Amino acid sequence: MPSATHFSRPGGIMKGIRIRPEQEGLRTTLFDLEAEIMECVWSAGWESFAVSDVLEALQESREIAYTTVMTTVVRLFKKGLLSRQKDGRRYVYQSKMSRAQFIEKMTRDVLSSLPEGGRETAMTFLVEQIEDADDAELDRLEALIQARRQERAAALKSSDEEDP
């Protein structure tokens, strides 16, 4: 079984996240229960929640102890995926990002943590993956590239206008 790759970026949201390429979905970057809890939070659309809310949702499909859920929610808080506020004797948690934002942040952190030459390798891999893309995927990629070129051109133009 391939080993997990660990990375942590100073000042980044993702603290102590590791990559497990043998897993799928969120489980490539989160432990199984962490992934299950985040999926529960995102699927339910909770703006805020308590550990007891997560426990109730998880117990619909299996038996699990309150302390196990609480420990895992606290770990997600320490990793920076959740924020919390004290509400009497308990904490109320909020997700700091949507599922899409998490995936984007994770992808950016992985790419920026690559050693020298890693970005080029990643881009080469992306191009290889495009071989299997359908027309709609190619159109989306082309639109992203065009948008990026326009952003760069606009930034260059504005910096030229600022410099006399």
Residue 100 included in any domain: no
Q: Looking at the structure, tell me whether residues 72 and 153 fall in a common domain.
A: no
Reduce the DSSP state of residue 120 to 3 states and report it.
helix
Q: Looking at the structure, tell me whether residues 73 and 121 fall in a common domain.
A: no
Mean pLDDT of 12-29: 70
Q: Looking at the structure, tell me whether residues 30 and 82 fall in a common domain.
A: yes
> What's the pLDDT at 17?
65
Q: Which two tokens stand for residue 78?
A: 């320490």
Q: Looking at the structure, tell me whether residues 10 and 91 fall in a common domain.
A: yes
**Considering the chain, what percentage of its residues have pLDDT values greater than 90?**
51
Residue 110 included in any domain: no
- The amino acid that residue 92 corresponds to is V
Residue 70 included in any domain: yes
Residue 108 included in any domain: no
For 72-107, the pLDDT digits (tens) are 999 999 999 999 999 999 999 999 999 999 988 888
Name the residue range of residue 60's domain. 5-95
Do 73 and 54 touch, CB atoms closer than 8 A? yes
Q: Looking at the structure, tell me whether residues 65 and 124 fall in a common domain.
A: no
| Residues sharing a CB contact under 8 Å with residue 66, sequence separation 6 or more, in sequence order | 51, 52, 55
**Considering the chain, what percentage of its residues have pLDDT values greater than 70?**
88
For 26-52, the pLDDT digits (tens) are 887 888 999 999 999 999 999 999 999
Q: Looking at the structure, tell me whether residues 157 and 85 fall in a common domain.
A: no
DSSP string for 81-115? SEEEEEETTEEEEEESS-HHHHHHHHHHHHHHTSP
Reduce the DSSP state of residue 8 to 3 states and report it.
coil
**Residue 92: strand pairing partners:** 85
Mean pLDDT of 109-134: 84
Residue 47 included in any domain: yes
Residue 107 included in any domain: no
